[in-house]
Amino acid sequence: MLHISSTFPLAVLLLLICSQIAGGQVVEFDRDVRPILSEHCFTCHGPDAGKLKAGLRMDRKESVFSRHESGSTPVVAGILAESEMVRRIGSQDPDEIMPPPDEGKALTEKQIDTLKRWVQEGARWTDHWSFETIKMPSVPRENLAAGIISNPIDSFVLSNLRSAGLSQSPREAKERLLRRVSLDLTGLPPSILEVDDFLSDDSHKAFETVVDRLLGSQHFGERMAMPWLDLARYGDTSGYHNDSLRDMWLWREWVINAFNANMPFDQFTIEQLAGDLLPEASIQQKVASGFHRNVMTSDEGGLIDAEYRNLYVVDRIATTGVTWLGMTVACAQCHDHKYDPITQADFYKLYAFFNNVPENGKDGVRDRNPMPYLRVTTTKEEEQLRQHESELSAADGKLAELTKTLAEKQTVWEKELVLGDFASSLPKPFAHFPLDENGNGTGGDGHPIVAASHGESRFEEGSIGKSFHATGKEWFEYGDRFGFEKDQAFSVTSYLSVQPKGGAPFGKMNDKDGSRGWDIELHGLRPSVHLIHRWPEDLIHIQADEDLPAKAFTHLAVTYDGSGKAAGLKLYLNGVLAKSSVKKDNLVGSIHTDTPFSIGRRGESSALFHGHIDDLRIFQRELSPLEIASVTAAETYKLIAIPTADRSKKQSEQLEKFFRQTMVPELAVLQKSVNDLRKAKEDFERSLPNTMVMSEMEKPRETFIKVRGNYDQDGIKVEASVPAFLPQITNRIDDKPLNRLSLGQWLVAPEHPLTARVTVNRWWAMLFGTGIVKTLNDFGSQGERPSHPELLDWLAADLMHDWDTKRAVKQIVLSATYQQASQVSAALLARDQENRLLARGPRQRLDAEFLRDNALAIGGVLNPKIGGKSIKPSQPEGTWEINEMSGYKYEKSQGLDLYRRGLYVYWRRSTVYPSFVTLDAPTREFCVSQRAKTSTPLQSLVLMNDPVFVEAARAFAQRILAEPGLDDASRVTFAWRLALTRAPTATERSILTRMLEQQQSTYRKDLESAKKLVAVGDLPKPANHDDSELAAWTAFSNVILNLNETITN
Amino acid sequence: MDIDQQLQLAVHRRNFLQNSTTGMGAIALASLLKPEAFAGNEQSVPGALKQLHFAPKAKRIIYLFMSGAPSQLDLFDPKPKLTEMTGQDLPESVRKGQRITTMTSGQKNLFCVGSPFKFAKYGNVGMDISELLPHLSKVVDECTFVRSLNTDPINHDPAVTFFATGNQQPGRPTMGAWLAYGMGCSNADLPAFVVLTSGGGGQTLQTRYWGNGFLPAQFGGVQFRNAGDPVLFVSNPPGVSSETRRQLLDATNELNQQALRNIGDPAIAAQIENYELAFRMQSSVPELTDLSTESKETLDLYGATPGKPSFANNCLLARRLAERGVRFIQLCHRDWDHHGGLPKGLPTKCKETDQASAALVLDLKQRGLLEDTIVVWGGEFGRTAYSQGEIKPDNFGRDHHPRCFTIWMAGGGMRKGIIHGETDEFGYNITRDPVHVHDLHATLLHLLGVDHKKLIYRHEGRDYRLTDVSGNIVNELIA
């Protein structure tokens, strides 16, 4: 089994490299030597100035070939004996040998040999391949392996295959090819009709016709968006800590639309990095700039703002680095990069581009988008919004007009009052209890009322003078006074300071006789009024809609008109009619009781009051709102006597407020209408979709190098600029600092060596499973070299002509290389397990979202709607429970939304949709350029048992059974074609038939189990279905949806 | 290699979750080269490392993570000075301008507050244990106390992420994931890294705290859930019996074998094997999680009640997982974040955890498992010497304090019955033998036979490890 070792991916390449060298090829610096230097020397002799030893930089030509202070020269071309490097790597002396033994990076014999040969052969130095300007290489015309050449891609591939002694595989069977390309370009399988069309099209353009159709499908945009969402760490939540909900789906929709409209990739880049900075930026361009707002943010209590804002900027650089440069720029946050020529200063120059967003480290919101965000509306919504605005402004105008006249009116009123007897304008009290030193009061007739005192009553600081402090143990009784009947009008007013323990401050109620009587009662801090004949049926009960403030005096008044109806019972707080709710309105019998009226409690034992009571007045009639206000304001009236100039600010305000509340009732009406309109407008605005966008602060923040990456340690100041080792921005129009727009334009400038290579390589990986450069996110010196360097440059140069995404993708799938059969012989597998040489067609398991889409599509229930808000399909209960801080509940979507594509599934970063995680989806907490593709038993459990997949199987079964005029044998064929495009082989048919018959027999015998199985999911069942038959076919479909061929492209 | 060889290979795959078509393929195949290398050799492991770096003293870890950060000053590190100075400002000479959270940085005063709980000395070493932990006080001689643990972050999310991954920001693998990757699982039918959560309220948990980071997903912690399927989707759909599932799987496998014969892709062989593993899990997981088979004595020891989710149940389940060879078992118990209401809140949390934590140590010991299992108990940081908010007779709180806090460990080659490290009289700064989180990680890996500098994974061109560029083994903690 030794040959298996050659299937190690690295080993394949090494083998190739070694055989090439051994085969007499010249050592190539960039291919053979630099990787050795990078891995074994750069840590101490590389870009990191902080770690540099002996001033020697093995990544710099001038340093490698020049004489150093020691007197020696590391490399003298062609002369081994004079090259210090050769001496040191071959030394046996532990103090001399390089790399030093304690670094643990010893060179192998083969590596030493390669370095020596390089010196011997003349030590030719070239720069790192990916930093070199992209030049269109010539297409190989000779020395190709035998095969079909559809376009230049094949020439490059065949040229390599010939060197490796391999040949192209035959073209894939049409059914399989159609399935592959449909899943690759749309994430969805072809329909039977599309299969038949393709099979019957014999023209040489047949495949191209299919590809054009797929590129024109709206699902193409969805398919292309999915990996882009991984790069953009797209999430529907903030990620950190309580993981607040946010709305970014408009940005997602923008991405889908951009791919569908075939927006050139350079524009696609610029709008996402700096759409907001484009001249006269459109709404959509601003939406696009949300790319860099989807960083994770935090609202954790206690966090230090600067620390987190720093994280957000760093994330933007890291993400930009991986997405466009294919490099780990973020390594230079704390020190110069160890392997690539990115200095710490370079990092903070990039930092300056992203440092001017008007955002906070503590994002401060948990139920909406943090600033800055942008509302995105339809024409109709804009019209509605204008309507709201004009109504509000009209009402505001009226209010302002009225307000203007008030000062004068108040002066007139004050004069009149001073002249007249304002005391007479106070309603005459029936009885008055000042509660300043005891429970005694005065009746309406002027006679004293003496209280029977119980417990040790205390009098403390009150609203007017002192107040009675009740703790549940003391009260006053007054015999049969205030024994109102239900047809008698009365009013009660008092200042109350309440506590959460609540209770009834006063009342006359018989606890033993169905609570007959009347009272005010605090349930907690919320006041109620009861007029009761018999609890709990025969009574009126109203309750305020809001709590009173705890431990502060509120003036509370109740008026009753004697009507016996709840509508006649009103509650005023601080002189203003309070919003209240009718809890019961069914008073029939008498409310009179012999229980004495009490202050501090209402009856014998229940609802003892806890709090302070002050200035209680009881009237024998229903007071008007104005009278209530007067009572409330008895103290305020006294202020009028003070000359205007002598009043304190507080006194003036109190008087003005009182005048306005009591004497200008239309003011409250107008004010209310303004408030209502404002609230309606705000509610409407909040209902409108909005999305986070980038914007620049008017005064940009200054950027400093952060010492060792510490957010709170500023070093020297830097300006926005691009890394020094890459082409610089030359077309500066003025002296203004560079901004994100300059950065975006620079990334897609013709001389930029990375963006096109990185981008086309990612698309290649999407279609072939592995990139031409395997390390999609590392094009630096530690990354893997391209398997086909010229092909990569050809594709990149070609892309840069027009940045036409669809053309670039089409070109790849039209290559004969892509269209090869994916069958692999044991010999080829042993030679090239990962298919880096491309001697066969690609074969990949579908990504998480597409696995779900595929099952729903085969089941015929996929909802093809494009774009829109995220959906919440069925998810195991409790998934969000570990992060429930803000009380978010996962509310499952309803109806057709359940069957939308996986791309739209709600992405909560702290608790990602569980089946997706199992199927290798990233959490989207950070930028990911390629998903791992693992194969695990937990994935098998998802596909076998996740209710989503079981429901898809039932849908599939229903679809099979709904097809008219089929017997079981033709149903098997129909099902197989729906899932796999092709017809089953005889062996497959016999396995399927046997299995189906088993299930039919099982579920005919066990109807109860059948009913249970077909009850999974929300999808309606057809009328008159046979449960046993449907269950058997559901089990059958479950098998098909679990097959390796079904879950693979 | 023909189809039968491939199938044979597939059947030989014995690493749960370790079959992959990218990234880890090399490892999976490597393990196939010398399957015999794993039999009866203590030094070899079924993970990426293949061979351990040292002779291991422990094989697995049970990590009892107390989410929210328990107060060391009220449980393990009493400070009479704080009692004496209650209501007086913490001297600036102690704080030395060190940063504090924005929850207390705005407070006019940072008043010292002593513990309202009684302490007594236990075990041969005379460890101070609060009256809130009566069960722990009985197993002190089995435990290793570190009073000088310290960490960098001062907020929960970054601090838990740091404890779990050695880095404050998301993206790196957690300790369990590193071990799953490097050491694999000695039981083919179970994941190497299992997570059990309990409690509610207080600080939230995130799946990132047991995530795979940049490692492939199969190395992330598998959550065993308290309700519904213990492992997601392990139960067949309603109406599908085990016999029916077997029939369906037989058909699936036969059809997949046809595909393998025809296409030759080794991923198909891997899938066939995974379906068999999945089928075995369908019976082994319910058996594993069924606590009703435990004796009454054992249930009483832990205070566990089958079917009623609790920290105690999770501790017992942790022992069952340990028995079955799971490498890293992480328990998370929530709501230790006592910014206020500490005098009432802390006793509640202790009552929920004390008995079961001590029971786990005792139970492992009596079953001979403590020898090669490390139990770790601790939060993400400590709590402050000063009060957050007003100090009242029955109510005060403590803010986050990363500069020193206490954890305890037991078993698996740790030095028993010692107290390591010391803090000043205010419990604010470390005065002797600081142990940083990286040091703790390095030490735990060392006990498992792994050199923390050599358990590495190349990602984006850089070799990463759990301890980043730090970490010193604390030899004093090792027996």
The per-residue pLDDT for range A450-494, each reduced to its tens digit, is 999 988 889 998 777 789 999 988 999 998 889 899 999 999 999
Q: A60 pLDDT band (50/70/90 cuts)?
A: confident
pLDDT at B94: 95
Q: A31 pLDDT band (50/70/90 cuts)?
A: confident
- Domain-located, residue B365: yes
Instruction: Say how far apart CA B101 and CA B121 lie, in whole Å.
Output: 33
DSSP 8-state assignment for residue A322:
I
Q: Would the CB atoms of A302 and B232 count as touching at under 8 Å?
A: no
Q: Would the CB atoms of B207 and A1044 count as touching at under 8 Å?
A: no
Q: Taking a contact as any Cβ pair under 8 Å apart, which residues of chain A between 700 and 719 contact chain B? A: 712
By three-state DSSP, how is residue A705 classified? strand
Q: Would the CB atoms of B281 and A941 count as touching at under 8 Å?
A: yes
B159 and chain A in contact, CB less than 8 A: no
Chain A residues closer than 8 Å to B20 by CB: 932-935
Bridge partners (DSSP) listed for residue B129: B120
Q: Would the CB atoms of B278 and A1010 count as touching at under 8 Å?
A: no
Higher model confidence: residue A592 or residue B329?
B329
| A778: closest CA of chain B, how far (Å) | 5
- Domain-located, residue B28: no
- Domain-located, residue B204: yes
Q: Which of B156, B240, B275, B451 is best to mutate for the A interface (most A CBs within 10 A)? A: B240
pLDDT at A322: 96
* Mean pLDDT, residues A529-539: 91
Question: Does B468 score more than 60 pLDDT?
Answer: yes
Bridge partners (DSSP) listed for residue B331: B64, B196
Cβ B210 vs Cβ B164: under 8 Å: yes
Of A302, A918, A1013, the CB nearest to B238: A1013
Percent of residues, chain A, with pLDDT higher than 70:
95
Mean pLDDT of chain B: 90
What is the CATH number for B128? Answer: 3.40.720
Q: How far is CA A550 from CA A139, A329, A792, in A?
A: 84, 56, 73
**Cβ-based neighbours of A477, under 8 Å, separated by 6 or more:** A451, A452, A454, A596, A597, A598
- Domain-located, residue B44: no
Q: Closest Cα to residue A886, out of A147, A132, A237?
A: A237
Q: Would the CB atoms of A1035 and B248 count as touching at under 8 Å?
A: yes
Nearest C-alpha in B relative to A1007: B239
Cβ A107 vs Cβ A40: under 8 Å: yes
Question: Does B425 score more than 80 pLDDT?
Answer: yes
Cβ A579 vs Cβ A413: under 8 Å: no
Which phi and psi (to 5°) does residue B270 adopt? -60, -40
Question: Does A803 score more than 50 pLDDT?
Answer: yes
**Cβ-based neighbours of A821, under 8 Å, separated by 6 or more:** A169, A170, A171, A172, A173, A176, A840, A841
Question: Does A16 score more than 60 pLDDT?
Answer: no
Q: Which of A305, A934, A1013 is best to mutate for the B interface (most B CBs within 10 A)? A: A934
pLDDT at A70: 84
The per-residue pLDDT for range A201-256, each reduced to its tens digit, is 999 999 999 999 999 999 999 999 999 999 999 999 999 999 999 999 999 999 99
- Domain-located, residue B151: yes
What's the number of CA atoms in the CB half-sphere (13 Å) around residue B203? 31
Q: A642 pLDDT band (50/70/90 cuts)?
A: confident
* Mean pLDDT, residues A822-830: 94
- Three-state helix/strand/coil letters over A180-193: HHHHHHHCCCCCHH
Percent of residues, chain B, with pLDDT higher than 70:
91
The residue assigned the tokens 């694999």 is: B184
The per-residue pLDDT for range A651-676, each reduced to its tens digit, is 888 788 777 866 777 887 888 899 99
Of B227, B236, B274, the CB nearest to A940: B274
B34 and chain A in contact, CB less than 8 A: no
> Domain residues for B420?
63-232+306-477
Of B20, B239, B254, the CB nearest to A1009: B239
- Domain-located, residue B182: yes
Q: Would the CB atoms of A10 and B217 count as touching at under 8 Å?
A: no
Q: B279 pLDDT band (50/70/90 cuts)?
A: very high
Ordered structural domains, chain A, with CATH: 29-125 (no CATH), 429-622 (2.60.120.200), 945-1042 (no CATH)
Q: Would the CB atoms of B461 and A775 count as touching at under 8 Å?
A: yes
Q: Closest Cα to residue B395, out of B337, B351, B344, B335?
A: B344
Chain A residues closer than 8 Å to B206 by CB: 243, 882-883, 909-911
- Domain-located, residue B218: yes
Q: Closest Cα to residue A691, out of A200, A217, A284, A382?
A: A284
The per-residue pLDDT for range B213-256, each reduced to its tens digit, is 999 888 999 999 988 899 999 999 999 999 999 999 999 999 99
Pure H helices in A301-343 = 305-320
Most confident among A500-514, A648-662, B292-306 (mean pLDDT) = B292-306
CA dihedral B375, B380, B384, B390 (to 10 degrees): -110
Q: B178 pLDDT band (50/70/90 cuts)?
A: very high
Cβ A169 vs Cβ A842: under 8 Å: no
Question: Does A43 score more than 90 pLDDT?
Answer: no
* Mean pLDDT, residues A41-51: 86
- Domain-located, residue B452: yes
pLDDT at A633: 66
pLDDT at A835: 95
Based on the structure, what is the number of domains in chain B?
1
Mean pLDDT of chain A: 91
Question: Does B3 score more than 80 pLDDT?
Answer: no
Of A822, A920, A1035, the CB nearest to B263: A822
Cβ A841 vs Cβ A828: under 8 Å: no
Instruction: Say how far apart CA B223 and CA A523 lie, in whole Å.
Output: 44
Of A937, A1011, A1043, the CB nearest to B252: A1043
